[in-house]
Homo-oligomer: A and B are copies of this chain.
Amino acid sequence: MKVIADLCIVPIGVGVSVSKEIVICERILSAAGLKTHLHAYGTNIEGDWDRVFAAVKQCHEALHAAGVPRISSSMRFGTRIDREQTTEDKFAAWKKN
């Protein structure tokens, strides 16, 4: 099952700056071979369901291993069976309207 997702990880208990933690996660998602796009409030992730969620788990594990005591993430994820869709398809549909 293919999923298009958007992940926002919020490290708690490491102070106000969380950019170091965001970079750790970006590297994990890239290394997982997933198509990603980092934006101002999260990261788009596209790929096979199991690989996407395995990478999300790896992000939590890596941040805790790096000393982050608590993490609160929010994620959107969409699946569909009516047709195949990529993020590029989404943008193309918006441009037509």
A31 contacts the other chain (Cβ, under 8 Å)? Answer: no
What class of interface size applies to chain A in its complex with B?
35 or more
Copies in the complex: 4
Chain B residues, Cβ within 8 Å of A37? 39-40
The answer to whether A19 touches B61, judged by C-beta atoms less than 8 angstroms apart, is: no
Chain B residues, Cβ within 8 Å of A71? 78-80
Bound form: Cα–Cα A16–B14 in Å: 8
User: Nearest chain B CB to A5's CB is how many angstroms away?
Assistant: 7
Q: Which residues of A contact B (CB under 8 A)?
A: 1, 4-6, 8, 10, 12-13, 15-20, 22-23, 26, 37-42, 44, 46, 49-50, 53, 57, 60-61, 64, 69-82, 87, 90-91, 93-94, 96-97
